[in-house]
Structure 1
Amino acid sequence: MSNIGKRNRQIQLQAPAPVAQNGYGEPAPASFSDQGTEFAQVIYSSAGQELVQAAQQTAVQPVQFVMRYRADVRPTWQVDFGGTIHLITAVTEIGRRQGLTLTTQRRG
């Protein structure tokens, strides 16, 4: 069982909102809605990467958040941690519903 005392950072879980359309019937920009605040342990990976996206070099750093178990968290969600958005790439259950590890990529 994980040490609950290490879960001392607040994160905001966000799920994608249903795709809306603008006045011309085109999809509106993606938006997310808050799904709750959780306390989590933050684990930074020392292996950051740099990717080229849209002709720009972008830094990507893997970050893991260890939190209590929730059955509704999906890889399509994102984490807002201190105003920085982290895209969830994997959701892994710890033990038998003892917790979750959210593997994310922080972009910046």
Structure 2
Amino acid sequence: MALQTQRKYQRRSAAEWRALVAQQAVSGLPIGAFCRKVSVSTASFYRWQGLLQKNGDSGMAAAVTAPRRTPDFVDLGALEDLAPSARRDAAASPRVELRLELGGGLVLHLVRG
């Protein structure tokens, strides 16, 4: 009766790695914690993550490069007149310009003054 040795690792296909990388991206967990949770070597995870990004895997670039969630709203405070309170009339108000580059060639440009 031959003794069967059990492998310490599990060989995964590219599709399985693609799914793991996508799961980590939406899990909100740091890569180390995610790898421990699913019993994957962090070195292997980073290797496959890089390979998938390099090969431009369809749909993976966004999930792989954006693992952290962004806030829905960022309060930048109120734009107040820069002139002293004694000179707050409309003629004394300085011109204020705000330009936000939102990505993808989209720019929001606000002007007051």
TM-score (norm 2): 0.19
Structure with the higher fraction of residues in helix conformation: 2
Larger radius of gyration: 2
TM-score (norm 1): 0.19
Higher relative contact order (CA 8 A, sep 6+): 1
